[in-house]
Amino acid sequence: MHGARAGALRWCLLGCGWLIVGAAMAAGNTPTLAETLAGSTAAEWRAVDPDQTLYMDLPQGRVVIELAPRFAPLHVANIRALVREKYFDGLAILRAQDNFVVQWGDPDDMRPLGRAQAELDAEFTVPLDTTPFVRLPDRDGYAPQVGFSDGFAAARDPRAKQQWLIHCYGAIGVARGNDPRSGNGSSLYAVIGQAPRQLDRNIAVVGRVLRGMELLSTRPRGSGAMGFYEQPAERLSITAVRFASELPEAERLRLQVLRSDSRSFATLLEARRNRHDEWMRNPPGFLEVCNVPVPGRLAP
């Protein structure tokens, strides 16, 4: 009896509604993510620029990263110089610290940077400009304003006339030492846990993972301090890092991101803030900026 009664329900837990397309809307429920995306129009999707897209190929598969040159132009340019010289090929994932970051780079820190700069002006924040920004009405503790810019979680401080990217899950940042100019993009990290917002405005965030996040988030955690791998054999070798634009067009993934200023994204935000369906008993009435999935897809 127990099995027959509770089985399917208890399993689908955590929101059966998100899976059931159609029935919920008919019942007046909050549209599910699947429903919202199914109802989106082609114009609501932005094609990801192959010239701002990195493919990091690992033995297990490909991690796809979208860079955000508006938020860290010098760092993105430096990463571009490194990638064009195949700097990352054969380097390694050096560190995986649970609930924090996975980091990669040169284990010996000896590989020449070629045309790339060893030091860069800090880009922890950049001046407010005409970057699109869809502001969340929800209050944030770490920044005066938070929202989304072309799919990137971002913050603004109108008084300081600055903006910056937020360290949400999947954000890609530039490792640095104590010197704010010491981050040059030759060592990068991805956030794999609770958003380490204390890093915001202290490190240049240069992009976010669009696909293959699980290849990073499931890396065995290192046993050394801060999750560094203590034995070279524990490191995972990076096969190659390329810009999508370096590959023949037929070999590129035609990725799209749901526009931050689209009606469907607004629907999605409101559904997460105030979801009403059979499962949800106490809709939060609030939305934290890093608790938002920004949908991506292959071009239909």
- Shortest reach from residue 94's CB to a second copy, in Å: 8
Interface with a second copy (CB under 8 A), residue from 80, 156, 176, 259: 176
Pairing of strands 101-105, 188-191: antiparallel
Asked whether position 201 contacts a second copy by CB under 8 A, the answer is yes
Query: For the chain, percent helix, then strand, then coil, each to nearest 5?
Result: 25, 25, 50
Contact (CB, 8 A) for 135 and 284: no
Distances in whole angstroms, Cα of residue 116 to Cα of each of 74, 87, 150: 10, 10, 27
Cβ proximity to a second copy, 187 vs 262, nearer residue: 187
Rounded-to-integer distance, Cα 212 and Cα 207, Å: 14
Interface with a second copy (CB under 8 A), residue from 2, 42, 159, 248: 2
Any idea which residue has 């010098």 for tokens?
74
- Shortest reach from residue 257's CB to a second copy, in Å: 17
Sheet containing strand 162-165, strands side by side: 126-127, 162-165, 152-157, 145-149, 134-135
Distances in whole angstroms, Cα of residue 208 to Cα of each of 17, 96, 173, 212, 240: 28, 17, 9, 11, 18
Asked whether position 213 contacts a second copy by CB under 8 A, the answer is yes
Asked whether position 214 contacts a second copy by CB under 8 A, the answer is yes
Q: Which residues contact 30 (CB under 8 A, 6 or more apart)?
A: 17, 24, 270, 271, 274, 275, 276, 277, 280
Cβ proximity to a second copy, 16 vs 247, nearer residue: 16
Q: Which stretch binds a second copy (CB under 8 A): 41-49, 75-83, 232-240, 288-296?
A: 288-296
What 8-state DSSP symbol labels residue 32? Answer: P
Asked whether position 74 contacts a second copy by CB under 8 A, the answer is no
Asked whether position 237 contacts a second copy by CB under 8 A, the answer is no
Q: Which stretch binds a second copy (CB under 8 A): 64-72, 215-223, 231-239, 247-255?
A: 215-223
Asked whether position 159 contacts a second copy by CB under 8 A, the answer is no
Asked whether position 103 contacts a second copy by CB under 8 A, the answer is yes
Asked whether position 124 contacts a second copy by CB under 8 A, the answer is yes
Interface with a second copy (CB under 8 A), residue from 76, 82, 199, 258: 199
Interface with a second copy (CB under 8 A), residue from 25, 182, 252, 261: 182
Report the site for a second copy in 261-280 (rule: CB under 8 A): 272, 275, 278-280
Asked whether position 11 contacts a second copy by CB under 8 A, the answer is yes
Asked whether position 194 contacts a second copy by CB under 8 A, the answer is yes
Q: Which stretch binds a second copy (CB under 8 A): 35-43, 91-99, 236-244, 260-268?
A: 91-99
Asked whether position 10 contacts a second copy by CB under 8 A, the answer is yes
Rounded-to-integer distance, Cα 168 and Cα 230, Å: 27
Three-state secondary-structure class, residue 292: coil
Cβ proximity to a second copy, 3 vs 248, nearer residue: 3
Report phi then psi at 161, rounded to 5. Answer: 55, 45
Asked whether position 231 contacts a second copy by CB under 8 A, the answer is no
Q: Which residues contact 26 (CB under 8 A, 6 or more apart)?
A: none
Q: Which stretch binds a second copy (CB under 8 A): 25-33, 73-81, 162-170, 252-260?
A: 162-170
